[in-house]
């Protein structure tokens, strides 16, 4: 297929206003279906009176993600206002998935607004965040993991009385910590078996890849990219990619929360999700071994209560 055009999800069609839509002819040429500045009307969408597959131009991809993000962020506000934790969780996963279809400058920055909405609109954010963490989904994806780590991180920030700005920074760092995984082959990431050394090294590279993606994005806070780079470092120097012993504080917090989230939620066939107490006991052993910071561990454990 012509790489200049990419198919879009039918469930997203009504979000596109500025972005034109195209149809494909039998001879594989493309024609304009919806011009910029208009949306497809509800009637047409309800009755599916449109070609089965519609396309956008690749050069409009970032603009299209921005339109979908804006629409999703409005839905997120509505779900928060109506106190619907399931709606909040699903839309957050959708926003991250949509953004990570093209993770680069122009799309990634849109997630700042998502975190701002969570932090600013939730008058009792710990409550809604705890409720969304309590909801399990059948699919354990990178996007779901990132949303869970963000919810735990904002809860931690609220518990430790962080300023609004620090809370937003921690939440955004959490949401983006594994962005480098978008460039790692999905077969390796979800392989239900022990990985070879070569494959494990490939996975480890998600830290530097994530740093490089975020380095090109327009974020004022350097911690966001440092968190992607250093969240697998351990204070005793046993982590990766560099074996650092001095770790950025935001990366240190997210590293611990990341570990807890994976232990309690990753329910793949070869490893079972643990209950919170068992996971905390395992992390406590790492604190004793000098891998994690004791104060962060204690504050995090209390934030779960």
Q: Give the residue numbers marked as catalytic.
A: 181
Question: Rounded to the nearest whole angstrom, what is the least distance from the CB of residue 233 to Fe ion in the complex?
Answer: 11
Q: Report which DSSP code applies to 222.
A: T
Minimal distance, residue 153 CB to Fe ion, in Å: 11
Compute how many residues bind Fe ion; rule: CB under 5 A.
2
Contact partners, residue 52, CB within 8 Å, separation at least 6 = none
Minimum CB separation from Fe ion for residue 147, in Å?
Answer: 11
Residue 239-278 contact track with Fe ion, rule CB under 5 A, x = bound: -------------------x--------------------
Q: CB-wise, 88 or 184, nearer to Fe ion?
A: 184
Least separation in angstroms between CB 143 and Fe ion: 11
Q: Is 70 exposed, middle or buried (0-12, 13-18, 19+ CB in 10 A)?
A: middle
- Which residue, 77 or 97, has its beta carbon nearer to Fe ion? 97
Using CB under 5 A as the binding rule, the residues of this chain from 171 to 210 that contact Fe ion are: 178
Nearer to Fe ion, 34 or 225 (CB): 225
Q: Measure CA 143 to chain center.
A: 4
Q: Identify the H or E element spanning 286.
A: helix 276-288
DSSP-H helix ranges across the chain: 42-46, 61-81, 85-99, 111-121, 125-134, 142-159, 164-176, 186-189, 197-204, 206-215, 223-230, 249-265, 276-288, 294-303
Choices 42-50, 58-66, 90-98, 170-178 (CB under 5 A): range interacting with Fe ion: 170-178
Residue number, 98 or 258, with CB nearest to Fe ion:
258
223 interacts with Fe ion by CB under 5 A: no
Q: How far is the CB of 204 from Fe ion (least distance, A)?
A: 9
- Count CA atoms closer than 13 A to 139's CA, side-chain side: 9
Nearer to Fe ion, 33 or 240 (CB): 240
Helix (H) or strand (E) holding 300: helix 294-303
Contacting residues toward Fe ion, per CB under 5 A: 178, 258
């Amino acid at each position: 297929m012509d790489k200049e055009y990419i198919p879009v999800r039918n469930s997203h069609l009504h979000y596109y206003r500025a972005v034109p839509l195209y149809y494909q002819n039998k001879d594989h040429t493309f024609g304009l279906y919806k011009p910029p500045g208009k949306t497809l009307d509800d009637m047409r969408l309800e009755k599916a009176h449109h070609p089965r597959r519609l396309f956008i131009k690749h050069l409009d991809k970032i603009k299209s993600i921005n339109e979908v993000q804006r629409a999703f962020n409005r839905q997120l506000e509505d779900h928060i206002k109506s106190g619907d934790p399931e709606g909040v969780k699903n839309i957050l996963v959708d926003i991250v998935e949509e953004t990570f279809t093209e993770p680069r400058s122009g799309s990634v920055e849109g997630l700042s607004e998502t975190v701002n909405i969570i932090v600013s609109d939730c008058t009792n954010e710990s409550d809604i965040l705890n409720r969304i963490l309590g909801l399990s989904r059948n699919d354990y994806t990178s996007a779901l993991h990132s949303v869970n780590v963000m919810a735990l991180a904002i809860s931690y920030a609220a518990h430790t009385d962080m300023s609004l700005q620090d809370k937003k920074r921690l939440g955004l760092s959490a949401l983006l910590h594994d962005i480098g995984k978008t460039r790692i082959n999905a077969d390796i990431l979800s392989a239900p078996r022990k990985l070879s050394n070569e494959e494990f090294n490939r996975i480890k590279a998600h830290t530097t890849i994530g740093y490089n993606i975020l380095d090109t994005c327009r974020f004022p806070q350097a911690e966001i990219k440092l968190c992607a780079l250093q969240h697998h470092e351990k204070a005793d120097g046993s982590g990766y990619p560099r074996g650092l012993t001095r770790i950025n504080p935001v990366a240190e917090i997210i590293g611990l929360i990341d570990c807890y989230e994976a232990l309690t939620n990753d329910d793949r066939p070869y490893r079972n999700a643990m209950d919170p107490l068992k996971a905390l006991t395992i992390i406590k052993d790492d604190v004793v071994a000098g891998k994690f910071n004791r104060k962060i561990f204690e504050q995090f454990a209390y934030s779960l209560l």
